[in-house]
Amino acid sequence: MTNQPLVSIITPSYNSENFISETINSVLKQTYQNWELLITDDGSTDSSTKIIKNFIEQDSRIQLFTIQNGGAAVARNNSIKNAKGIYIAFLDSDDLWLPTKLEKQIAFMERNKYAISYTSYQRMSEIGMLLNDEVSIFKRVSYADMLTSNKIGCLTAIYSTEILGKVYMPLIRKRQDYALWLKILKRTPYAFGLDEVLATYRIREASLSAKKTEMLKWNWLLFRKVEKKSVLSSFYYVLYNVYYKLMHK
């Protein structure tokens, strides 16, 4: 364990009492043991923090920070600020990792000296039923590749602070993970994919209806305000993102 680089796991939490135990347990089951789990709670009104504190009593590698209604980007950035790891990994409070996720992905990055990597993942329903729906990935993606769609699942991404330093999420309410990958890919030519299912993404029914129209708005904001693209280019990339989604359902 002492020879393993420390991995800081970044988890935002908001009213996640129904899922956070399962998420934390998926970290505890990792075959790779040198990690710290940094959970920033964004003003939950349910029993999320009580559940997290129960886990902290059992394992000192888990830490809890609290903020008030800052949003996911602020919560993630707070955890990144407090991170001590050589690697920064992302896991939301309703998603899961397979037991060998960190072991295989960190070995992949260490072996090749990659600045950022990601993996394939599978999807499950809100109640935890696997949907036989694997999301396969490209072997590598560049900044230009990523402009046409977000090809990196947040729950699979890991970046190296040794190579990149700490990189924080742009402060937008949605699509901040997409914005972070674009930010990183201005510093390093490629992100590299490990084509193995190592994580499970939970599809939340409550967010599905708003997702399609909201995606247009937040993608526009991402390209126009964060990436500083022209009106024409922003319009093009928003439409291309829609096209890509339709073609890869």
Q: What pLDDT, on the 0 to 100 scale, is given for residue 29?
A: 98
Mean pLDDT for all residues in the chain? 93
Q: What pLDDT, on the 0 to 100 scale, is given for residue 249?
A: 61
Asked whether residue 159 carries a pLDDT value surpassing 80, the answer given is yes
Asked whether residue 178 carries a pLDDT value surpassing 90, the answer given is yes
How large is the average pLDDT for residues 127-150?
A: 91
In order of their start, the domains of the chain are: 7-205 (3.90.550.10)
User: Residue 134 — very low, low, confident or very high, per pLDDT cuts 50/70/90?
Assistant: confident
Q: Which residue has the higher pLDDT, 182 or 213?
A: 182
Q: What are phi and psi of 164, to 5 degrees?
A: -105, -15
* 51-90 confidence digits (pLDDT tens): 999 999 999 999 999 998 889 999 999 999 999 999 999 9
Ordered DSSP codes for 59-86: -TTEEEEEESS--HHHHHHHHHHH---S
* 201-249 confidence digits (pLDDT tens): 999 876 544 466 778 888 999 999 999 999 999 989 999 888 887 777 6
- Six-digit token string for 203: 């599809």
Exposure letters 151-183 (e unless 16+ CB within 10 A, then b): bbbbbbbbbbbeeeeebebbebebbbbbbbbbb
- Six-digit token string for 9: 């796991």
- For a pLDDT cut of 90, what percent of the chain falls above it? 79
pTM (2 d.p.):
0.93
Q: Which of 165-174, 185-194, 198-207 is least confident?
A: 198-207
